[in-house]
Amino acid sequence: MSRFKSIDPTHCHASAHPQAHDSTVAFTIKDKEDDTPSTVTISEVSTRHIRRLASSASDFLGKTVNSAVITIPTNFSDKQKEALIKAAKGADIEVLQLIHEPIAALLAYDARPESIVSDKIVVVADFGGTRSDVTVVASRGGMYTILATAHDYDYAGCHLDQVLMDHFAKEFIKWNTTDPRKEVRSLAKLKLEAEACKKALSIGTNASFSVESLAEGIDFASTINRLRYETIARKIFDGFTRLVEGVIKKADLDVLDVDEVILSGGTSHTPKIASNFRSIFPETTRILAPSTTPTAINPSELQARGAALQANLIQEYESEDIEQSTHPAVTTVKHLTNAIGVLAISDDESKGIFTPIIAAETAAPARRTIHIATPKEGGDVLVKVVEGGSHIKVTKPEPKAKSNGATVEDANSDDSEEDSSEEEEEEKREKVWKVGKVLAEAAVKGVKKGGKVEIMINVAGDLSVTVTAREVGGKGGVRGNLSAPA
User: Is 208 within a domain?
Assistant: yes
Model confidence at 186, in pLDDT bands (50, 70, 90)? very high
DSSP states of 446-461 as a string? EEPTT-EEEEEEEE-T
Q: Would residue 8 count as lying in a domain?
A: no
Kindly report, residue by residue over 435-452, the tens digit of the pLDDT: 888 888 888 888 888 788
pLDDT of residue 328: 61
pLDDT band at 325 (very low <50, low <70, confident <90, very high): low
How many residues are there in the chain? 486
Give the residue with greater pLDDT, 57 vs 10.
57
Would residue 186 count as lying in a domain?
yes
* pLDDT grade for 404, boundaries at 50, 70 and 90: low
Say whether both 221 and 350 belong to one domain.
Answer: no
Decide which of 234, 261, 276 is a domain's last residue.
Answer: 234
55-73: average pLDDT: 94
pLDDT of residue 417: 45
CA distance 257 to 127: 22
Of the residues 201, 234, 267, the one at which a domain ends: 234
Instruction: Tell me: pLDDT of 359 over 80.
Output: yes
Which of the pair, 25 or 296, is modelled with greater confidence? 296
Which of 234, 254, 286 is a domain's end point? Answer: 234
169 lies in a domain? yes
Half-sphere exposure at residue 197, Cβ-oriented, CA atoms within 13 angstroms: 30
In a domain, 91, yes or no: no
- pTM assigned to the model: 0.82
Cα radius of gyration (the chain): 29
Residue 111 lies in a domain: no
Residue 406 pLDDT more than 60? no
Q: Place 30 in a pLDDT band, splitting at 50, 70 and 90.
A: confident
Q: Which of 67, 69, 71 is nearest to 92 (CA)?
A: 67
Q: How far apart are CA 182 and CA 184, in angstroms?
A: 7
Provide the number of structural domains found in the chain: 2
* Pairing verdict, β 37-41 and 339-344: unpaired
The winner for highest mean pLDDT among 23-27, 210-214, 350-354, 426-430 is 210-214
Mean pLDDT computed over every residue of the chain: 85
The share of the chain scoring above pLDDT 70, in percent, equals: 87
Do 227 and 348 lie in one domain? The reply is: no
Domain that holds residue 165: 157-234
Pair (228, 344) in one structural domain = no
**Alpha carbon distance 90, 318 (integer Å):** 21
pLDDT of residue 230: 96
pLDDT at 471 over 80: yes
pLDDT in tens, 160-184: 999 999 999 999 999 888 899 999 8
Confidence category of residue 416, pLDDT binned at 50, 70, 90: very low
In tens, the pLDDT along 259-286 reads 999 999 999 999 999 999 999 999 999 9
CATH number for 355 = 2.60.34.10
Give a yes or no: residue 436 inside a domain.
yes
Query: Residue 168: which CATH number?
Result: 3.90.640.10
Assess if residue 50 is contained within a domain: no
**Range in 70-79, 80-89, 361-370 the model is least confident about:** 361-370
Any idea what the Cα angle at residue 276 is, between residues 274 and 281, rounded to 5°?
A: 90
Cβ-contact 256, 282 below 8 angstroms? yes
